Amino acid sequence: MKYYIIAGEASGDLHGSNLIKELKKGDPSADIRCWGGDLMEAAGGSLVTHYKERAFMGFAEIIKNLFKILGFIKFCKKDIAVFKPDALIFIDNSGFNLRIAKWAKPKGYNTHYYISPQVWASRASRVKTIKATVDHMYVILPFVKDFYNSYNYPVHYVGHPLIDAIANFPKIDDQKFRNEFNLDERPVIALLPGSRKQEITKMLEIMLSLPDHYPQFQFVIAGAPSQEEAFYNSIIGNKSVTLIPNRTYDILSIAYSALVTSGTATLETALFKVPQVVCYKGGAISYAIAKKIIKLKYISLVNLVMDAPVVKELIQHEFTPLNLKAAFDIISNPEKRTSLFLNYYELELKLGSTGASKKTADLIIKSLK
């Protein structure tokens, strides 16, 4: 069978790569063409374009790059038409993927959506488009299945693929890793400022206000694979921190605490059982628009799944050096850390068992037969 997969960022590349591996196990003759990244290509997908070419964040930047985005959409449609896939698979990235789905469904393509757009968070009206254009939806959060049920749209709950990704992550030798990057014996504080240039700039500048106050810790920046070291160094300046590119899971596996930009990384940090402060600061225009359309009590996936303020969130104007220091002091408190660990274990139970990628691949293959 022929499969065409479209993912749009680093997390989509990770989940797409695991899906490709399982599709190839279930269908050894699978011919897979994809929009994604290095991981999807390494898993056996024929890469059309890399997600870092389409990494536009926020309403203002999307408008600024609108012609480029429209060009990608036009090219994607042509490429799908030439490839003629048996299954067209979307991974998250709703702004791009739903436009392709609207075009694809009337033309008779078999459409699948792995990792639902966050319609439960904003613009629920998109459910109408999804029902009309997506044949099979695979959701990874338990409350999302209930959300779709309320719209009379049956979906498959497959569990969260991060459970697999982290369970299968090979344990590293702590001392060997420290030696490799000249880290000393002090506890490591992980800084996860995001993956896109504009969010990294906003987040990292404030995160770097902490190292001077805590000489008993060493601060390590988890560099995104899509960004150059020179870019990070232009922000770091003379701050006493270590930059380690493309080793986020290694860093989290030895981290004492973490400062994390809101997104998938908050869930990854929780599954590594690392106490964290969740941070977010967007552009003024983008934030003002988002605040009007997003109707949620929390911004982090950890709190959303638990439906409780398990981790501290510092959003927009609250994300200041002073507030960050106060929040960091709290997660350094032994009693608070114990409470967090207990909540993290409960979170893992709520997310379900392993096998999300395999379940999804099996369901896709079965639907084609």
Q: What is the pLDDT of residues 83-100, one digit of tens each?
A: 999 999 999 888 899 999
- Tally of domains within the chain: 2
d(CA 27, CA 353) in angstroms, rounded, equals 23
Q: Are residues 103 and 217 in the same domain?
A: no
Band of pLDDT at residue 2, cut at 50, 70 and 90 = very high
pLDDT at residue number 95: 85
Distance, CA of 193 to CA of 222 (rounded, Å): 8
- Cα(221)–Cα(250) distance, integer angstroms: 12
Distance in angstroms (rounded) separating the CA atoms of residues 177 and 360: 34
Q: Is the pLDDT of residue 54 over 80?
A: no
Residue 339 lies in a domain: yes
Please tell me the predicted confidence (pLDDT) of residue 10.
Answer: 81
25 has a pLDDT exceeding 70: yes
Q: Say if 292 falls within a structural domain.
A: yes
Average pLDDT over every residue of 177-206: 94
Q: How far is CA 224 from CA 22, 132, 227, 244, in A?
A: 26, 36, 6, 9
Domain membership flag for residue 164: no
Retrieve residue 268's tokens.
């990854």
SS3 369: coil
Q: Are residues 272 and 220 in the same domain?
A: yes
Sequence-separated (6 or more) residues with CB below 8 Å from residue 77: 100, 103, 104
Alpha carbons 12 and 15: distance in angstroms, whole number: 5
Residue 166 forms part of a structural domain: no
Q: What is the mean pLDDT of residues 256-262?
A: 96
- Looking at the domain assignment, is residue 154 inside a domain? yes
Q: What is the pLDDT of residue 295?
A: 60
The model's confidence at residue 281, banded by pLDDT at 50, 70 and 90, is confident
Each residue of 330-360: b (16+ CB within 10 Å) or e? ebbeeeebeebeebbeebbeebbebbbbbbb
Q: Is residue 332 pLDDT above 70, yes or no?
A: yes
**Res 354: pLDDT:** 85
Q: Does residue 61 register a pLDDT over 60? A: no
Contact 324, 206 (CB under 8 A): yes
Range of the domain at 143: 2-159+354-368
Mean pLDDT value of segment 317-328? 96
Q: State whether 216 and 304 are in the same domain.
A: yes
142 part of a folded domain: yes
- Whether residues 69 and 126 fall in one domain: yes
Q: How far apart are CA 312 and CA 334, in angstroms?
A: 16
Same domain as 219, residue 80: no
Does 284 share its domain with 361? no
Q: State which H helix or E strand residue 205 sits in.
A: helix 197-207
Q: Mark whether 270 and 358 lie in a shared domain.
A: no
Is 165 inside any structural domain? no
Classify residue 227: in a domain, yes or no.
Answer: yes
Q: Domain containing 230 — which CATH number?
A: 3.40.50.2000
149 and 181 housed in the same domain: no
What φ, ψ does residue 189 adopt, rounded to 5°? -105, 115
16 and 80 inside one domain: yes
Average pLDDT over the chain, rounded to whole?
90
| Same domain flag for 212 and 339 | yes
Judge if 175 and 298 occupy the same domain: yes
290 lies in the same domain as 207: yes
